[in-house]
Amino acid sequence: MPKPKPALAAWISTERHRMDWSVEQLSERLESLGIEAKPATVRVWEAPAGRPPRQEAIEAMERLFGSTAPEAPTGDVLVAAAIDRQTVVLERLVETLERQQQADLDAVVARSVKAALQAAGVPAASSGQSRSDAPQPDPV
């Protein structure tokens, strides 16, 4: 599943398309304002995992687009998002450990029951074979 674009990256892409500008055209317009922004840089700004532009580039794009950029997430928001992601990872680990614990407990119980039956002199039933003292169906 593709990673969603951060709000700032989506804003740059949406506004550039609204203005019907190519990446190269936005780059040229920013360069004319004294902002270093090669086409590859603009592509990085628009990428889901790309880095955000510097504040001066954001302000220049706001002037060019005639709209306000969304606020960049604060440190608290970023930390909360990281905690949420780690919580999901930890919940999965706990579920895996609980399943493993249950499987281990089931194995211990099965061994204990087998040992108790053997100590009581009850012959162990082997799978797929019937016991000789078990009732047999009447032949037809």
Read off the pLDDT band of 50 (50, 70, 90).
Answer: confident
Q: Could you please report the per-residue DSSP string of 14-57?
A: HHHHHTT--HHHHHHHHHHTT----HHHHHHHHSTTPPPPPHHH
Segment 93-133, tens digit of pLDDT = 999 999 999 999 999 999 999 999 998 888 866 655 555 55
Read off the pLDDT band of 1 (50, 70, 90).
Answer: low
* Burial of 16 (C-beta count, 10 Å sphere; 0-12/13-18/19+): buried
Domain boundaries, the chain: 7-65, 73-121
Residues 6+ apart with CB under 8 A from 4: 48
Q: Which residue type sits at 14? A: T
Record the tokens describing residue 75, joined without a space.
């440190």
Q: What is the mean pLDDT of residues 84-90?
A: 84
pTM for this model (two decimals): 0.52
Q: What is the pLDDT of residue 11?
A: 95
